[in-house]
Amino acid sequence: MKIREERHNDAAVCFLEGEININNSPELRKAFDELIKRGEKKVLLDFSAVSYIDSSGLATLIEMLQRLKKTGGLLRFSNMDQKIKNIFEITKLNKLFAIFENREAALKDF
Amino acid sequence: MTISEKLPSRIEIIPEFILRVIDKIRPPDLTAEEIFNIKLCLEEALINAMRHGNKLRPEAFVEVNIEATADYLKIQIKDEGKGFDPGNLPDPTKNENLEKPGGRGVFLIKNLMDKVEYFDCGRGIRMVKFFRGKGGKK
């Protein structure tokens, strides 16, 4: 999995690429650690190049949300493929996370 | 087509094993969503067997038996652990559990496969996916 970061005003936009699975979830957690350490309050994860996610990936995202909430931060997702969106819908995690069709809509919501 | 293998309890070997299985069993008209869901269920079941069943003990193995036809895919996975009661797991979709990071593997399997049963006190799982128009959910 690759993670590329861009800034949009006061928001950190992270473009995730590849699979989020049990073997690389720690890598994602480490990237989140950096964002939290830097004091980021608005974080957008863009899923347009994410091809797969498993339950350990979902767990990592939930931990990220909890940590951001504790610091008064916000987490937004954008551009999810239907297959991945389906996993969020089945698990009802679409009720927990703010998921947007595209980056613009997600950034506007901050 | 059948696959029978005994895997050591090492999580890092799972993605490569799944790639090999998908490559071998893939019927030509399987959709990307079906492949995604099969891959996810196979991974979740293997992780459960290795981590929760075998506790990642290097001497404990996971037996995998797969049967694939044009109509269905049957997967049986068995570990060497103490077993568990799949009927006694909290529902991860309930509001009070939504923010809990874990506990979604078994739930995903139940919802994405067409038939799921546990045997040998929860040490083993059998799951079936029927391909489109062959009695499955889609």
**pLDDT tens, residue by residue, B57-70:** 989 999 999 999 98
Q: For helices A55-70 and B32-47, give the axis angle rounded to 10 degrees.
A: 80
Which of A1, A19, A22 is the mutation pick for testing B, counting most B CBs within 10 A? A22
Residues of chain A with pLDDT under 70: none
What is the structure's pLDDT at B132? 72
The ipTM value here is 0.92
Q: Domain count of chain B? A: 1
What is the structure's pLDDT at B135? 55
What is the structure's pLDDT at A92? 98
What is the structure's pLDDT at B29? 78
Sketch out chain A's domains with CATH numbers: 2-108 (3.30.750.24)
Neighbour-count burial for B18-43, b at 16+ CB within 10 Å, e otherwise: beebeeebeeeebeeebebbbbbbbb
Asked if residue B138 belongs to a domain, the reply is: no
Cα dist. B132→B5, B31, B33, B38, B129 in Å? 27, 9, 12, 13, 9
In B, which residues are within 8 Å of A65 by CB distance?
Answer: 99
* Predicted confidence (pLDDT) per residue in B125-137, tens digit: 999 999 875 555 5
Asked if residue B136 belongs to a domain, the reply is: no
Residues 6+ apart with CB under 8 A from A10: A41, A42, A110
Select the residue of A52, A87, A91 nearest B93 (Cβ to Cβ): A91
Give backbone dihedrals phi and psi of A34, rounded to 5 degrees, phi first.
-60, -45
Give backbone dihedrals phi and psi of A4, rounded to 5 degrees, phi first.
-120, 135
* CA distance linking residue A37 with residue A48, whole number of Å: 26
pTM score, whole prediction: 0.94
Give CA angle at B29 (B24, B31), nearest 5°.
90
Give backbone dihedrals phi and psi of B64, rounded to 5 degrees, phi first.
-120, 125
Q: How many CB atoms lie within 10 A of CB A77?
A: 22
What is the structure's pLDDT at B26? 73
In this complex, do B108 and A87 lie within 8 Å of one another by their Cβ atoms? yes
* Predicted confidence (pLDDT) per residue in B81-135, tens digit: 999 999 899 999 999 999 999 999 999 999 999 999 999 999 999 999 998 755 5
pLDDT category of residue B25 using cuts at 50, 70 and 90: confident
* CA distance linking residue B83 with residue B49, whole number of Å: 9
Is B17 an interface residue toward A (CB < 8 Å)? no
What is the structure's pLDDT at B70? 87
CATH number of the domain that residue B20 is part of: 3.30.565.10
Host domain of residue B15:
2-130
Q: Are A4 and A47 in contact (CB under 8 A)?
A: no
Which residue of chain B has the CA closest to A81?
Answer: B33
In A, which residues are within 8 Å of B13 by CB distance?
Answer: none
Select the residue of A59, A86, A93 nearest B98 (Cβ to Cβ): A93
pLDDT category of residue B30 using cuts at 50, 70 and 90: confident
Residues 3-62 of A with CB under 8 A from B: 19, 21-23, 52, 54-56, 58-60, 62
What is the structure's pLDDT at B131? 87
What's the DSSP call for residue B34?
H
> For the sheet containing B124-130, what is the strand order?
B2-8, B61-68, B72-78, B124-130, B115-119
What is the structure's pLDDT at B81? 97
Is A89 an interface residue toward B (CB < 8 Å)? no
Asked if residue B109 belongs to a domain, the reply is: yes
Q: Are A3 and A47 in contact (CB under 8 A)?
A: no
The rounded percent of chain B whose pLDDT value lies above 90 is 83
